[in-house]
Structure 1
Amino acid sequence: MSLNAKYSLGILLTFVLLALVMIHIFPFINAIKGTTDITAEKFFYSRIAIWLVLIITILYNFVIEKNPFLVWKDKKYSSLFYIGSVICLYFICLIGGNFLNVLVRILTHEKFSDKLLHLSLIFKNNYLLIIFTCLTAGVVEELLMRGYIQPRIEKMYNNPYFGILISAILFGILHSTYGTVGQVVVPFFIGIVFAVFYKLYSNIKILIISHFMYDFVSLMIMNFIDIKHLSAFLTL
């Protein structure tokens, strides 16, 4: 099997596993528990399942690909660059995400996601769950979507734009389980921003920190204001 074929299989495996977790994890947990409501405990288990996808992908890389997990070696930067990058990425995603969310609502007249509304109650003052959820999103999603999938797609097609675009599309699709157009469009936009940054600067740590902070700030603010005002900013 050629390396490109191994990359293709790894990308397919990763995306399918993530999709299965996003779509079926709560029905699976409900079947085991014998209940139908979504609780903080069940949401915690769902994040554990996402970590398992990362572990499986790492094992696939180690056993089948037999190459470094991060195709692009992380470049070193100063602390000031880290701080400046995190701040810039945050505000680019914040402003762009808010604009797109307003635009989508004007064009589609869609209602707020019921799933996000219910999750807001679960997160209310549950700071350990907030931290674990943001850590999961930051570490797992960035390692898989940007660190693993993006550079492999670029190598397969010898085209950096394919790596940026396809990884962002997959990132958006994975958030479609929240049931609104906005929850696909905004993550797609954030996926583009993060993918371009990763291509330009090749530092996954900055993206992990940025993703964590983006979600963490949103979830913390959610404890004090209406969740509906944050719908554009959540990429859990």
Structure 2
Amino acid sequence: MQDQLSATQTNKTVIVIGIIIAAVFPSVAMELFGRLHIMPTQSLFYSRFIFWGEVLFLWWYAEQYENQKLIIWKEKESGVNFIIKWICFLFLLAMAANMVSAITKLLGFPENYPLMRAMAKFLSDKPFLIIFISATAGFCEEVIFRGYVLTRLTSFFKNEYIPVIISGVLFSAMHYKYHSAREFVFTFLFGMIAGLHYNYYRNIKPLIIVHFLVDWAALSLLHHFVK
């Protein structure tokens, strides 16, 4: 039974609307949220509920209008050994992507140190908040951009890599709010890595866990890198 979305099974307009909502809603919602005059660091916590709300909406939208599940791809490979192996390997690839993204600094693109310092101060001695933020990013962003956007894009392209690239660009664009070229490059590379893995193995579990670990490590160690 084919697990890839077919444009003949679901109205293309419905799919396009879903992709637009999935890709654009977080940025628009956070932009509007930012106008509530809440401190940027505090909005880091409150805005996480936007992502949980979007996942619930996409689940409802897929069931109600697409007449299918939110996650439509069946896993090609799974099991504890598979997941552990790929958690380790994907984490190393993410670290490599982070090192590559540092090239932007050599090219003259500065880091957004004021925001980083504010975040480090706000998150200091808040381990459970870091876990919540990281878990939200790991689960929600992977479900939105890999589980939903990537899979729906495949119905419009014969080339399997074009949806991976587009979903990676959309994932990266969502992080523009940090106003950091390095963050933009890193999230694009990470999005490509995650997209290629999901396109091949169709198992989102290791991606969610690795995404969580990457964000958790970055936020936990942030105060060591900014003064």
Instruction: Calculate the TM-score normalised by the size of structure 1.
Output: 0.86
Matches within 5 A, 1:71-110: 71-101=72-102, 103-110=103-110
Can you list the C-alpha shifts for 1:61-99, whole angstroms capped at 9, x where unaligned?
A: 111111121121234423122111011111111122222
Specify the code of the residue in structure 2 equivalent to 1:199. N
- Structure 1 runs (4+) deviating above 4 angstroms are none
Structure 2: gaps spanning 5 or more residues: 1-7
C-alpha displacement at 1:158, in angstroms? 2.7
Taking a change above 3 Å as real, the CA distance of residues 82 and 227 of structure 1, as seen in their structure-2 partners, is farther
Specify the code of the residue in structure 2 equivalent to 1:10. G
How many residue pairs end up in the alignment? 219
C-alpha displacement at 1:109, in angstroms? 3.8
Other-structure match for 2:34: 26
- Equivalent in 8, 13, 16 of residue 24 of structure 2: 16
Other-structure match for 2:61: 60
Contact 2:112–2:178 (8 Å) recurs in 1: no
Contact 1:164–1:195 (8 Å) recurs in 2: yes
Within the alignment, does 1:226 sit opposite 2:225 as a pair? yes
Contact 1:113–1:178 (8 Å) recurs in 2: no
C-alpha displacement at 1:54, in angstroms? 1.4
Other-structure match for 1:33: none
Taking a change above 3 Å as real, the CA distance of residues 156 and 172 of structure 1, as seen in their structure-2 partners, is same
Specify the code of the residue in structure 1 equivalent to 2:213. M
Instruction: Using the aligned pairs only, state the percent identity.
Output: 26
Contact 1:21–1:50 (8 Å) recurs in 2: no
Specify the code of the residue in structure 1 equivalent to 2:218. S
C-alpha displacement at 1:27, in angstroms? 1.8
Other-structure match for 2:156: 156
Taking a change above 3 Å as real, the CA distance of residues 43 and 90 of structure 1, as seen in their structure-2 partners, is same
Other-structure match for 2:193: 193
Contact 2:171–2:191 (8 Å) recurs in 1: yes
Other-structure match for 1:133: 133
Other-structure match for 2:4: none
Instruction: Let me know the Cα RMSD of the aligned residues.
Output: 1.9
C-alpha displacement at 1:177, in angstroms? 0.7
Can you list the C-alpha shifts for 1:25-66, whole angstroms capped at 9, x where unaligned?
A: 2223x2xxxxx53354x4321111221111111111111111
Specify the code of the residue in structure 2 equivalent to 1:137. A
Taking a change above 3 Å as real, the CA distance of residues 4 and 113 of structure 1, as seen in their structure-2 partners, is farther
Can you list the C-alpha shifts for 1:108-128, whole angstroms capped at 9, x where unaligned?
A: 242334323311211111111
SS at match of 1:175: helix
Specify the code of the residue in structure 1 equivalent to 2:135. L
Specify the code of the residue in structure 2 equivalent to 1:191. G
Matches within 5 A, 1:175-190: 175-190=175-190
Contact 1:168–1:188 (8 Å) recurs in 2: yes
Instruction: Calculate the TM-score normalised by the size of structure 2.
Output: 0.89
Taking a change above 3 Å as real, the CA distance of residues 179 and 113 of structure 1, as seen in their structure-2 partners, is farther
Other-structure match for 1:210: 210
Other-structure match for 1:146: 146
